[in-house]
Structure 1
């Protein structure tokens, strides 16, 4: 990190780009930060209420969490130049706070996105409405996300302990991968929603807040002093793709008129899962009973002797 910071310190204009931050921008960014947290609450409530991952694509959970980690890795590296300016005393406290707002916002967004996966793991584990095979896939997703987090931590260490060129290369790669995954992650979720013909556990309320908020958040990142294109591009793409998914969910939930509406289709899907789980439990109980009976059978015991 020292080597990288020293290379920045040799340039007189390194810190000047962060000067003159706007008070209006600070207030607006704080508002956006709280908005990010609020936008995820409907999804958390829906998972807690339904106790099933029905309607949520496992690939969407994987790619969404990984995309968030890529973006967080990017902003940690990109914002390190501003943090150096703060440490060196080249910036006022006000300008320092402004220079790190993007990091705080993206850090919160990343945490909130991964929390969806965590809640699905915790709240649907013993639920009778949870497809067991689907839950096994979610466990694999959680392990892959944890591995990605470890790899990203290593990337951050490398970026902060080398020169500026390597740091921005790592940051740009993570930004590009985040944008790519943002596009890809909505494809399996759109396919899942199209196939099921109902949103299921996917929250329309969350998307109603996040879709317009995504465009606003992109604008705040774009106009922040010292911003880099790789930090805001993924959020622009995410807003566009999420808008498409939201439109599809609203169509099935409120406008699709046929013999089976979205609520009925979801109810039947959950009933099927419950029936399969009950049948599996009964079968398992029956096998356990047979094994206990065999162990008490005197003929079987004598034959073993």
Structure 2
């Protein structure tokens, strides 16, 4: 009698798993190609920003809070999608869905993984390429180093979250995923506020790339749509990208106005030159003071016989 009951429980559990996995079936080849092209587009969209940091060798125009919140919001989103896509990976492991549908079910993870990595690389490029630049504000660079340490700690904390969530039941996992999704949305909203304020105050985009935003703003709406319509998607995985596209569009409009329309961009160019000149003068004066201190120290050092 007990064996019959256990067998019936096994069948009901298996039927439940099959029903849960059925949401990932029916993926199309067109959808696969479209999502792969969007993933490639995400990577390409960051190249203008990398090139701008490389060519200017300064973070002038980039808000430190924008770098911090942008990196952390990406980590929150990546943590969310790793947990949300766990059910699809279970279906792949138990072969409840075929290989093609399995690959399609993990494309959102690939997309957000690429986006997260590219966003954090903006911070890494600033840390590496502006370290010894005479055009880099040293006080601001010290703040960016602190940001790098904090982002590293956040990344390690997210790894611990993922390990804990994947070792618990599905209800706890979804709760942790939702928290990360909501925090990502909150930081996405907040991160554009200091950057919009910085650009408004400076009256020029500086190191912030207009080319990157021209690609990412419409791409953000398309990316949100792909996440929304993907089989088995969850609202907490795409809502942050919707807010990001809206706010990035606002920032892009501000940058285009200063760079091309306000006095035909002459004011923006002069403002940037003045700000870079101020930073260079400060760095030269600081280096000169350090040289004088070193010379005075050597003169006061007694000679050894």
TM-score for both structures, normalised by structure 1: 0.93
> Per-residue CA shift, 1:96-148, capped at 9, x if unaligned?
11000000000000000000000000000000000000000000000110011
Determine the structure 2 residue equivalent to 1:97: 103
Q: 1:11, CA displacement in angstroms?
A: 3.4
Residue of 218, 221, 231 corresponding to 1:215: 221
Given that residues 79 and 180 in structure 2 are in contact (C-alpha distance below 8 angstroms), is that contact kept between their aligned partners in structure 1? yes
Give the Cα–Cα distance (whole angstroms) in 2 for the partners of residues 77 and 222 of structure 1: 17
The RMSD of aligned alpha carbons is 1.6
Given that residues 57 and 188 in structure 1 are in contact (C-alpha distance below 8 angstroms), is that contact kept between their aligned partners in structure 2? yes
Determine the structure 2 residue equivalent to 1:64: 70
Give the Cα–Cα distance (whole angstroms) in 2 for the partners of residues 26 and 70 of structure 1: 25
Given that residues 15 and 85 in structure 1 are in contact (C-alpha distance below 8 angstroms), is that contact kept between their aligned partners in structure 2? yes
Give the Cα–Cα distance (whole angstroms) in 1 for the partners of residues 246 and 134 of structure 2: 35
Q: Which runs of 5+ in 2 are unaligned?
A: 1-11
Q: Which runs of 5+ in 1 are unaligned?
A: 1-6
> Per-residue CA shift, 1:238-286, capped at 9, x if unaligned?
0000000000000000111289611111011001100000000011001
Determine the structure 2 residue equivalent to 1:4: none
Determine the structure 2 residue equivalent to 1:275: 281
Q: 1:12, CA displacement in angstroms?
A: 3.3
Mark the CA change 1:258 to 1:14 in structure 2 (over 3 Å): closer, same or farther.
closer
> Per-residue CA shift, 1:134-179, capped at 9, x if unaligned?
0000000001100110111111011100000000000000000000
Given that residues 78 and 112 in structure 2 are in contact (C-alpha distance below 8 angstroms), is that contact kept between their aligned partners in structure 1? yes
Structure 1 residue 152 corresponds to structure 2 residue 184: no
Structure 1 residue 131 corresponds to structure 2 residue 137: yes
Determine the structure 2 residue equivalent to 1:16: 22
Structure 1 residue 263 corresponds to structure 2 residue 269: yes
Residue of 106, 110, 126 corresponding to 1:120: 126
Give the Cα–Cα distance (whole angstroms) in 1 for the partners of residues 54 and 266 of structure 2: 26
Give the Cα–Cα distance (whole angstroms) in 2 for the partners of residues 191 and 160 of structure 1: 40
Alignment of 1:38-53 (within 5 A): 38-53=44-59
Determine the structure 1 residue equivalent to 2:298: 292
Q: Per the alignment, in what secondary structure is the counterpart of residue 33 of structure 1? A: helix
Give the Cα–Cα distance (whole angstroms) in 2 for the partners of residues 181 and 126 of structure 1: 30
Mark the CA change 1:67 to 1:123 in structure 2 (over 3 Å): closer, same or farther.
same
Give the Cα–Cα distance (whole angstroms) in 2 for the partners of residues 251 and 12 of structure 1: 54
Mark the CA change 1:83 to 1:259 in structure 2 (over 3 Å): closer, same or farther.
closer
Residue of 183, 188, 209 corresponding to 1:182: 188
Q: Per the alignment, in what secondary structure is the counterpart of residue 26 of structure 2? A: coil
Give the Cα–Cα distance (whole angstroms) in 2 for the partners of residues 259 and 73 of structure 1: 41
Give the Cα–Cα distance (whole angstroms) in 2 for the partners of residues 157 and 36 of structure 1: 28
Runs of 4+ residues deviating >2 angstroms: 7-12
Of residues 230-239 and 10-19 in structure 1, the stretch that sits farther from structure 2 once superposed is 10-19
Q: 1:8, CA displacement in angstroms?
A: 8.1
TM-score for both structures, normalised by structure 2: 0.93
